[in-house]
Amino acid sequence: MKRHFVLAGILLLFVLVFWGLIPGEMEPTRPAAGEIKGVPSPPEIISTITLASAGDIMAHMPQVNAALDRETGEYDFTACFAPVRPLFLPADIALANLETTLAGAHLSYSGYPRFNTPPELATALRWAGFDLLSTANNHSLDRGEEGVLQTLDHLAANDLVAVGTYRDDEEREKITMLRVRGQRLAFLAYTYGTNGIPFPAGKEYLVKLIAEEEIERDIAQARELGADWIIALPHFGNEYQRTPSAQQRELVDFFLSRGVDIVLGNHAHVLQPIEMVPGEEGERLVAYSQGNFISNQRDRYRDSGIILTLTLEKNLTWGEKRLKRVAYTPTWVHKYREEGRIKYRILPVKRALRNYEAHLDPHLTEHDYRRLQEVWKETVEWVDPDGVLQLQDLDEEKIGGQG
Q: How far apart are CA 309 and CA 320, in angstroms?
A: 21
CB 309 within 8 A of CB 400: yes
What would the DSSP string read from start to end of 100-116? S----GGG--B-TTS-B
CB 208 within 8 A of CB 236: no
Residue 27: pLDDT band (50, 70, 90) is low
Does pLDDT of 28 surpass 90? no
Q: How far apart are CA 92 and CA 310, in angstroms?
A: 10
Task: Give the pLDDT confidence of 103-128 residue by residue, as tens digits.
Answer: 999 999 999 999 999 999 999 999 99
For 75-227, strand residue ranges (E) read: 93-98, 132-134, 161-163, 176-180, 183-191
Residue 29: pLDDT band (50, 70, 90) is low
- Residues in Cβ contact with 286 at an 8 Å cutoff, skipping those fewer than 6 apart: 252, 256, 262, 263, 265, 274, 275, 276, 277
Q: What is the pLDDT at residue 401?
A: 32
Query: Which residues sit opposite 229 in a β-bridge?
Result: 185
Q: Does domain 46-332 have CATH number 3.60.21.10?
A: yes
3-state secondary structure of 309: strand
Please, what is the angle between helix 246-257 and helix 212-224, to 10°?
A: 30
Task: Give the pLDDT confidence of 280-297 residue by residue, as tens digits.
Answer: 888 999 999 999 999 999
Please, what is the angle between helix 120-128 and helix 144-157, to 10°?
A: 40
Domain boundaries, the chain: 46-332, 347-402
Q: What is the pLDDT at residue 18?
A: 42
Percent of the chain at pLDDT > 90 equals: 84
Residue 384: pLDDT band (50, 70, 90) is confident
Does pLDDT of 10 surpass 60? no
Strands 176-180 and 390-394: unpaired
Q: How far apart are CA 277 and CA 53, in angstroms?
A: 19
How many residues appear in the chain? 403
Closest CA relative to residue 27, chosen from 248, 254, 182, 145 = 182
Q: How far apart are CA 43 and CA 369, in angstroms?
A: 52
- Residues in Cβ contact with 9 at an 8 Å cutoff, skipping those fewer than 6 apart: none
Mean pLDDT, to the nearest integer, of 135-162?
A: 98
Count of helices and strands (H, E) across the chain = 11, 16
Does pLDDT of 3 surpass 90? no
Kindly report the average pLDDT of the chain as a whole number: 90
Overall pTM surpassing 0.85 (yes/no): yes
What are the Cα distances from residue 317, in Å, to 28, 52, 321? Answer: 7, 26, 11
CB 316 within 8 A of CB 309: no
Q: What is the pLDDT at residue 281?
A: 80
Q: What is the pLDDT at residue 280?
A: 84
Task: Give the pLDDT confidence of 306-324 residue by residue, as tens digits.
Answer: 999 999 999 999 999 999 9
Mean pLDDT, to the nearest integer, of 369-388?
A: 93
Q: What is the pLDDT at residue 15?
A: 40
Q: What is the pLDDT at residue 282?
A: 85
CB 269 within 8 A of CB 291: yes
User: Does 317 or 403 have the greater pLDDT score?
Assistant: 317
Q: How far apart are CA 215 and CA 250, in angstroms?
A: 14
Q: How far apart are CA 39 and CA 273, in angstroms?
A: 48
Least confident of 36-40, 213-217, 327-331: 36-40
Q: What is the pLDDT at residue 36?
A: 57
CB 312 within 8 A of CB 229: yes
User: Does 42 or 336 have the greater pLDDT score?
Assistant: 336
3-state secondary structure of 202: coil
Query: In 10 A of CB 54, how many CB atoms?
Result: 30
Does pLDDT of 365 surpass 80? yes
Q: What is the pLDDT at residue 394?
A: 72
Closest CA relative to residue 183, chosen from 316, 286, 24, 279 = 316
Least confident of 28-42, 75-89, 368-382: 28-42
Closest CA relative to residue 307, chosen from 53, 14, 16 = 53
Q: What is the pLDDT at residue 279?
A: 85
Does pLDDT of 9 surpass 90? no
Residue 4: pLDDT band (50, 70, 90) is very low
Least confident of 13-22, 50-59, 373-382: 13-22
Q: What is the pLDDT at residue 346?
A: 98
Q: What is the phi/psi pair of residue 122, to 5°? A: -65, -40
Residue 1: pLDDT band (50, 70, 90) is very low
Task: Give the pLDDT confidence of 202-260 residue by residue, as tens digits.
Answer: 999 999 999 999 999 999 999 999 999 999 999 999 999 999 999 999 999 999 999 99
Please confirm whether the linkage preceding 234 is cis (ω < 30° from 0).
no
